[in-house]
A = this chain, B = another copy of it.
Amino acid sequence: MSRIDGRTPEQLRPITIERGWSKHAEGSVLVAFGDTKVLCTASLTEGVPRWRKGSGEGWVTAEYAMLPRATNTRGDRESVKGRIGGRTHEISRLIGRSLRAVIDYKALGENTIVLDCDVLQADGGTRTAAITGSYVALADAVGWALDKKLIRPGRQPLTGTVSAVSVGIVGGVPMLDLCYEEDVKADTDMNVVCTGDGRFVEVQGTAEAEPFAREELNALLDLAVAGCTELAAAQRAALETTLER
C-alpha cells in the first residue's frame, strides 16, 4: 500500500531541523516535516508574569500563527481581523502545555521563555512540527542561559525531551505523519505528543467522519509512538552539532 507521496503507512516525511536560523533569538529552529516549514524561536527574558512573581519558578508559553499565504488559499491575518481564532488559540495552548511537560520550573528560576511558532509553509502536521522544532529551540535557549549564567548551574531545567506527530486513518489504513491531502481525507485524525522515553504528554484524537473503535485507536497509538521515537532521534542528532552564535 503506497501513499500519495510514495511513503509507506508507517513512514515519516523527510525531517530537517535547522538550528540557529535567527541572529536575534536565544534559540531558533526552522523545522520541516516535508513541505511543512515552521520557524520556531525561543525568547528568554528575565522575570515572570505577575501571578508567578516571588515564587522562584519560571514560565514557558507558546504562540502559534500562520503566515497568510502559508496555505494554498490566502487566509486573512488575525491581526487585521482583530481577534485570534479558535484554532490558533487551541494550538498555541497545546504547544505550551507540551513543552511545559519537560520543564523543571524551579531549575529554570524566575525566567520566562516564549516559543513563537510561525508557519511559513503548511502541508499538514503544522502543530506537530511546531512542537518538535520548539523543543530544540527551547533546548538552545536553555543552553544559552546556562552559558550566560542566567540560570543557576547544577540543575538542568529540561527534564526530558518532547516531540509530536500526527496519525490518522485514511481509506481504512492507519498512517503516520499525514500530509495535507491525506489529512483532508482522513476519517480519524490524531495528534500525539510523547516524551523521549515513550510516555504520553498529549493524546488528541478526533473522529472526522466515522467514530473510531478501540482497536483503531490502539493501532494509531502504536504508529505515533514509533514516529515520536524517530523524531526524538532527529532532535538528538540536531542538538549534537555545535551551534555557532
A interface residues, Cβ below 8 angstroms from B: 22-25, 28, 35, 39, 41, 43, 45, 63, 65, 67-72, 74, 77-90, 92-93, 97, 101, 114, 116, 118, 120-123, 160, 190, 194-195, 197, 199-207, 210-214, 217, 221, 225
Contact = CB atoms under 8 A, between A and B. Distances in A.
B89 A120 contact: no
A125 to B, nearest CB: 15
Contacts of A213: 199-200
A236 to B, nearest CB: 18
Contacts of A45: 74
Contacts of A74: 43, 45, 114, 116
Q: DSSP majority for the A interface?
A: mixed
A217 B204 contact: no
4 closest pairs, A vs B, by CB?
A86-B89, A199-B211, A78-B79, A41-B69
A86 B79 contact: no
B28 A69 contact: yes
A245 B116 CA distance: 30
A195 B221 contact: no
Nearest to A41: B69
Contacts of A116: 67-69, 74
Contacts of A25: 69
B214 A221 contact: yes
Q: Which of A77, A206, A213, A217 has the most CB of B within 10 A?
A: A206
Contacts of A121: 22-24
A63 to B, nearest CB: 6
B24 A43 contact: no
A96 to B, nearest CB: 10
